[in-house]
Amino acid sequence: MTQAIDQPVGSLATALAHASRLLPANPEFAERQAREILEVVPGDPRAILILGSARRRRGDGAGALALLAPLARAQPRSADTHHELGLALASQGESASAIETLRRAVALRRNMPDAWRALGDQLALAGDADGADLAYAEHIRASVVDPLLIKAADALCEGRVAIAERLLGQRVEAAPTDVAAMRMLAEAATRLGRYAEAEDLLSRCLELAPSFVGARHNYAIVLYRQQKAAQAIGHVERLLAGAPADPGYRNLMAACQGLIGEYDRAIGIYEKVLADYPAQPKIWLAYGHALRTAGRRDEGVEAYNRAIAMSPGLGEAYWSLANLKTMRFSEAEVAAMRVQLDEGRLGVEDQLHLHYALAKALEDTGAWADSFAHYAQGAKLRRGEVPYDADETTAQIDRSIALFTREFFESRVAGGARDPAPIFVVGLPRSGSTLIEQILASHSAVEGTMELPDIAQIARRLGRGSRKGEGADYPEATASLSPEARSALGAEYLERTRIHRKLGRVMFIDKMPNNFHYLGLIRLILPEAKIIDARRHPMGACFSAFKQHFARGQNFSYDLAEVGRYWCDYARLMAHFDEVLPGQVCRVIYEDLVENTEAEIRRLLDYCGLAFEPPCLRFWENDRAVRTASSEQVRRPIFREGLDHWRNYASWLGPLEKALSPALDDWRGSAGG
């Protein structure tokens, strides 16, 4: 129980200091103390600030705003008042006003780490990832007092990441328990896209300082960006235990739940966040993605349209509608997209998404030339944003062909996890893999999951381990694996993917198309796994990939010559495995599946050791979640209209046809299985 300040227990300054100290742990007592101060000194701005903060901390955001808004108008130069007002606005879901007010606070006084952190959270919530990164970097800079760390933080804030990395690397080497430097070095690694390195640093950081909240948040984000959502969830739960209402933590939890296939949970979290922050277009967008994946198409469309209504230049929302493949834009919507592009005020991400969406809208009307021009512009913008080295891909394929000979496999019969559960569907994206998955997942013994990242992650880790972190060394790293190591890696894959197996069925599908790069590893660690090569006419497959904007992982697809070369490399490797592992890969030609559906489905099931079941012929009735661009198409019967659709664009596909010329005459290969 606090005492009134007119008792002889201390001065006004003492009472104010006491109330301030009470705020974090006991805002109720802080509020009582502030009220007592105001009874003696009516209108004291310091006491009003404490009272407003106490109200916010007790969940009375409206009451806090009633005090803090007029206080900020009366004290336009008070950074602390604007900071607290920004937090109160954020608590009421008024994110745009919160961002403006927090920017005012840090402009008045830059050395406010908590204000920078709050600003970063609100910018992240609003979908401004770049702005959030800069605010978080400023948070780090304002939090450190060490001269070297200040210098490194300055470099991070100014985008001089290499300099920051050098300074921080020297500090961590000299002081390996400096968790502040370790976290900053992880931030530099993250900026450079070296997520595995950042993960290692943050893991060590949390071993040394388990209560380091900022590092734990960074760690959860890095895990999520590597699609290690199952690991990230435990850390997000710890963050939420300390701050259950934090919108950034809740949003991250929803994203993680979606990544492990818990769509109902993700949808529930998004709905609660949107109830508190209804004016956030990027959250409506994420909510729409979750709804669409769960098969709730109409609700997803409504969410996308809500996002567009709030942010007319949000290109990803338009592209998400286009990516349903089965919907058509109205003339008014096409005009709205053109207006946004013509105004020239959008960032690259919004521009490229709008180009792809507009291209799809024009494609649906038969305006082939205009459609292709927008696809090409979208691809050009995307290609400028992502790295891809075609020579590196070709070299890796060459090395795999050289290493994985018939003798190589014959000498490594022992080892591996002897479990027939996994079915891998590989090939190029947009070649029928989702259709194959939907057919198989309609069988009572098979569960569909999604495009799982685990095989590629295991391969990358093998490379790092073999060369002490200097770079990838796959496939050579597989040559030294003992039978015990191969068994352990197979068991690791099965354990890592268990979280995606919700139905307890005998077999499950991993349809990451890029896994064709790792067929040698799959055969070594999972020798009883089934491998299905989903193939389509290369002109159709490559052009379909070219006109698809992928969220991640298909950087070869944004240039016609590069995607053609990639297809040739893929076909060379699959032909090699047909020769050295005869009959172990089943090739399913999309055109054959369309023309002779039942016969091809029976052949596919026979390869997997499964008896025919009629629901596999009625795959579109399966209401499972589908997490790819073909999600709506596989909810309809097979249709032939798309087989030669690429011919409408043939006039502009010269670079693709030239790149594919070595493969066009014999593109089917030998149909294994």
- In this prediction, residue 3 carries a pLDDT of 38
Write out pLDDT tens, residues 427-473.
Answer: 999 898 989 999 999 999 999 998 999 999 999 888 765 443 334 48
Residues 484 and 571 in one domain: yes
Please, are residues 15 and 33 in contact by the beta-carbon 8 Å criterion?
Answer: yes
Q: Average pLDDT of 369-390?
A: 95
Is the pTM higher than 0.95? The answer reads no
Residue-number span of the structural domain to which 354 is assigned: 313-385
Structural domain contains residue 377: yes
Compute how many other C-beta atoms are within 10 angstroms of the C-beta atom of residue 27.
Answer: 22
Q: How many domains does the chain have?
A: 2
Residues 374 and 423 in one domain: no
Write out pLDDT tens, residues 305-332.
Answer: 999 999 999 999 999 999 887 789 999 9
Residues 329 and 433 in one domain: no
Residues 363 and 501 in one domain: no
- In this prediction, residue 425 carries a pLDDT of 97
Say how many residues make up the chain. 673
- In this prediction, residue 470 carries a pLDDT of 38
- In this prediction, residue 465 carries a pLDDT of 53
Nearest to 65 by CA among 108, 28, 35, 98: 98
Structural domain contains residue 530: yes
- Measured CA to CA, the distance from residue 176 to residue 163 in angstroms comes to 19
- In this prediction, residue 551 carries a pLDDT of 81
| CA distances for 505 relative to 204, 489, 602, 618, angstroms | 38, 22, 20, 19
Q: How confident is the model at residue 6 (pLDDT cuts 50, 70, 90)?
A: very low
Strands 530-535 and 446-448: unpaired
Q: How confident is the model at residue 623 (pLDDT cuts 50, 70, 90)?
A: low
Task: Give the CATH number of the domain where residue 654 resides.
Answer: 3.40.50.300
Structural domain contains residue 145: no
Choosing from 346, 367, 385, the residue where a domain stops is 385
Residues 354 and 488 in one domain: no
Write out pLDDT tens, residues 469-482.
Answer: 334 489 999 999 99
Residues 363 and 487 in one domain: no
Please, are residues 46 and 81 in contact by the beta-carbon 8 Å criterion?
Answer: no
Kindly tell me the burial class for residue 12, based on how many C-beta atoms sit within 10 Å of its own C-beta (0-12, 13-18, 19 or more): middle
| Percent share of the chain, pLDDT over 70 | 93
Task: Flag whether pLDDT at 625 surpasses 80.
Answer: no
Structural domain contains residue 2: no
**Residues near 445 by beta carbon (within 8 Å), at least 6 away in sequence:** 505, 506, 507, 610
Q: Write the secondary structure of 253-280 as one string of H (helix), E (strand) and C (coil).
A: HHHHHHHCCCHHHHHHHHHHHHHHCCCC
Write out pLDDT tens, residues 196-220.
Answer: 999 999 999 999 989 899 899 999 9
Task: Flag whether pLDDT at 105 surpasses 60.
Answer: yes
- Measured CA to CA, the distance from residue 511 to residue 455 in angstroms comes to 11
Residues 340 and 422 in one domain: no
Task: Flag whether pLDDT at 635 surpasses 50.
Answer: no
Structural domain contains residue 366: yes
Q: Average pLDDT of 332-359?
A: 94
Q: How confident is the model at residue 634 (pLDDT cuts 50, 70, 90)?
A: very low
Structural domain contains residue 354: yes
Residues 364 and 497 in one domain: no
Please, are residues 437 and 500 in contact by the beta-carbon 8 Å criterion?
Answer: no
| Average per-residue pLDDT for the chain | 90
Angle at 553 between CA 575 and CA 633, to 5 degrees: 80
Residues 488 and 341 in one domain: no
Top pLDDT among 325 and 152 is at 152
Residues 381 and 491 in one domain: no
Q: Average pLDDT of 172-187?
A: 91
Please, are residues 326 and 636 in contact by the beta-carbon 8 Å criterion?
Answer: yes
- Residue recorded with tokens 């640093």: 201
Choosing from 365, 385, 405, the residue where a domain stops is 385
Write out pLDDT tens, residues 516-555.
Answer: 999 999 999 999 999 999 999 999 999 999 999 998 779 9
Residues 331 and 432 in one domain: no
Kindly give the residue spans of alpha helices, DSSP state H, lying in 294-447. 297-310, 315-322, 331-343, 348-364, 368-383, 390-403, 406-410, 433-441
Nearest to 54 by CA among 15, 25, 82, 95: 25
Structural domain contains residue 467: no
Choosing from 369, 385, 401, the residue where a domain stops is 385
- In this prediction, residue 639 carries a pLDDT of 60
Residues 378 and 502 in one domain: no
Phi/psi at 423 (5° precision): -120, 115
Structural domain contains residue 51: no
Q: How confident is the model at residue 8 (pLDDT cuts 50, 70, 90)?
A: very low
